[in-house]
Amino acid sequence: MDYKNKIAEAVAAAVETETPENLAQWIEIPPDRAMGDYAFPCFKLARILRKAPPVIAADLAARVRPEGFSRVEAVGGYLNFFVEKGGFAAGVLSRILSEGERYGSSDRGQGRVVCIDYSSINIAKRFHIGHLSTTMIGNALYKIYTFCGYRCVGINHLGDWGTQFGKMIAGFLRWGSREQVEKDGVDELVRLYVMADKDPDMQEEGRAWFKKIEEGDAQAMEIFRWFKEITLRDAERVYAKLGVRFDSYAGESFYNDKMGRVIDELKAKNLLVESNGAQVVMLDEYGLPPALILKADGATLYVTRDLAAALYRRDTYHFDKCLYVVAYQQDMHFRQLFKVLELMGYEWAATDLEHVSFGMVSYEGETLSTRRGHVVYLDDLLDRSVEKARAIIEEKSPDLENKDAVAASVGIGSVVFFTLLNSRIKDIDFWWDRALNFDGETGPYTQYTHARCCSVLRKADLPLEGETDWSALSDEEAQSVITELARFGEVVSDALERNEPSIVTRFTVGLAQKYNAYYFAHRILDGAPEQSRARLILTEAVRTVLKTGLSLIGVDAPERM
């Protein structure tokens, strides 16, 4: 039963001035369950009905009796609703058992496409912790949108364009060897680039090789593509550990032959203006600096390639929405990008493009800086996390089977969970003792609760099918868990609407806390079989929803820990 809609329909029938859809948006869940399971704020109707909220609440309390509720009370300006506890438990838990891991999903995105631009690593550079937020936020959004029926296109917009690649080729041809690059991978490419960049005699040679890349020279392109293969091979190891995938690796270089259309359209619409020899689009009337499209030497820029990418994605995928999961420092860039597209006549740019920004990442109190040498590579971070998780498991559960697999799930899961725990716009300071804590608002705590549910279900010699005494779940702790389970669909929907995976992450922690409070307050297998069955069904529902919630943020749910 959809309790909010039942309330909204009953109130709408009584007041006859608002639709159930409008009223449903105003319904709240009281902070204290003693005040009711749901509350309707009558302040919202005061202006319409021209009565004081307490008067409206008292009047409605006498007339509104929605199905599934044991009583309705007026308290101040609120109308408080108390669900019939046994029916509430039966309705929510039976639905979860029936729908399984599809519970909370929807078909709202059926027939619609969303492109998600995330991770966007640079060629010939190792994958560092600074890429963690974009990678995991994008991965979670991909899963959440898919769960809600959308067809997702995950795009890794590679940073694979610029004179540095010409210098890298020049350095490789002078000092490198294929054997050494194959052996040391990206580290060797970085070494060759640094040598070439520091050598004054190599600057012109580097520019010449990049020009050959621009012109499609066979030798230059063969080496350039090989460098990309080396980088992606290195990155794929990290992506495999994180469980992250992409549908496209079309990066900056992919759009080299697609920018002519952008330049031609800007010229045809008289949007290009010369400024000190360069070509720009003036955006001052929109409170934005000029968007630099072409340098004085005719070279294109980042925004030019992003314009070409947006048009290509629209034409190719016919997206209903395109998300750019990029740090907040690029906010101005995306405001310029979207406005230029809008001025070009593409109305969808104002409604279908969104910059999903996020905060900075630091490591144990120190800001990451490549120049200062304070860089934490992501594969090293994940490996250390797995090692630390393995040591904790060895100490706490020495007889556990599959320790290595569980350590990988817990170690990597702790990093992902920590990254997605708070609002994405907040800065993240990664600390081991916080991320791997089994007692706080962490991945290991939530994963352990899932494993606890699995343990309870394994020990029970009682099938879930059969006569069930739902009144066994009338206590405060059980009702608190069921209320949390009932709102999972709304949680997923809210996370999608706001492009905010932390809403799901926070939900899993809250559900784990409520179930653990129930677990310690009640003996699940005591009493008559009908009562034990009700408690086991509650446990199975928590297990199912915890696993689904964790999967939506890219975290494993081990069955034993």
**547 is annotated as an active-site residue:** no
Q: Are 62 and 510 in contact (CB under 8 A)?
A: no
Catalytic choice (4, 6, 85, 125): 125
Catalytic choice (4, 6, 85, 128): 128
Give the containing element (helix H, strand E) for 180.
helix 178-184
Q: Are 479 and 521 in contact (CB under 8 A)?
A: no
**131 is annotated as an active-site residue:** yes
Residue type at 177? S
Please compute Rg for the chain using Cα positions.
28
Gap between the Cα atoms of 537 and 485, Å rounded = 12
Gap between the Cα atoms of 70 and 68, Å rounded = 7
Q: Are 138 and 119 in contact (CB under 8 A)?
A: yes
DSSP string for residues in 331-367: HHHHHHHHHHHHHTT-THHHHHEEEE----EEETTEE
487's tokens: 């709102």
Q: Are 31 and 64 in contact (CB under 8 A)?
A: no
**374 is annotated as an active-site residue:** no
65's tokens: 């009796």
| Strands laid side by side in the 272-275 sheet | 272-275, 278-281, 291-294
Catalytic choice (131, 157, 228, 355): 131
Give 207's contacts (C-beta < 8 A, 6+ positions apart). 163, 166
Gap between the Cα atoms of 405 and 410, Å rounded = 9
Residues classed as catalytic: 125, 128, 131
